[in-house]
Structure 1
Amino acid sequence: TDPINEEEVHISDSQSKEHRQSAIELLQQELLLDRLGTTFNIKVDENELNAEINNLVRMMGGADANKMKKEWAKSGVLERLQSRIKRDKTLDAVMEKVQIKEEMVDSTANIDDN
């Protein structure tokens, strides 16, 4: 049996709003990263995907990588893995474009007179 369906979980309106807001923010971040990935023409090639699969399989005890890849393709894990790689590459591309500017400021100038 599925333990999730055995028992209802009740949450308050404030908890519901909080979870909803978190979900919205996560979706916005994912949509932004997806758009940036398209803008930067980020692609995940088969070699990158296979390298990541091999790393994961090695960490899991060295199962058959081809067998795992087939299982993950059926279950949707492979698609999520590819999305994660694309997201990571997109973040790397964005960070290369970002220029960080350090500036000395007088902290007393930022305090409002009360």
Structure 2
Amino acid sequence: MTAYNIVRVRVKPGSEDALIAHHDALLKSVGEEFKAAGMRRFSLIKTGDRAFCIVGEWDAFDGIVKARPAMIKSLDGMRSMLEDLGGDLGVTDPVSGEAVAEYNVQTH
């Protein structure tokens, strides 16, 4: 079953372009590693003022597990751009799991 990882972040003022550039460079440097682990799609979504969600779609949950070292490397490269989210979360609010229902609205 398809799996997803989602990480909510907020960048420091003036760091939005740097965050986008970091992810462009990341996919060039470890994109093949993510692909080998079963990543299907990656999206960086702007959800508000300086707020973003990083979303990965994977063939299976074990791909997320295999790619964690590369994801941690990515986080380490952008940590200085991120603002604490508060509530004892630190600079990221990550979640991941397997899809329990998926619908392709174009085929229904």
TM range (shorter): under 0.3
Name which one, 1 or 2, has greater alpha-carbon Rg: 1
State TM-score, norm by structure 2: 0.27
* Greater fraction helix: 1
* Greater fraction strand: 2
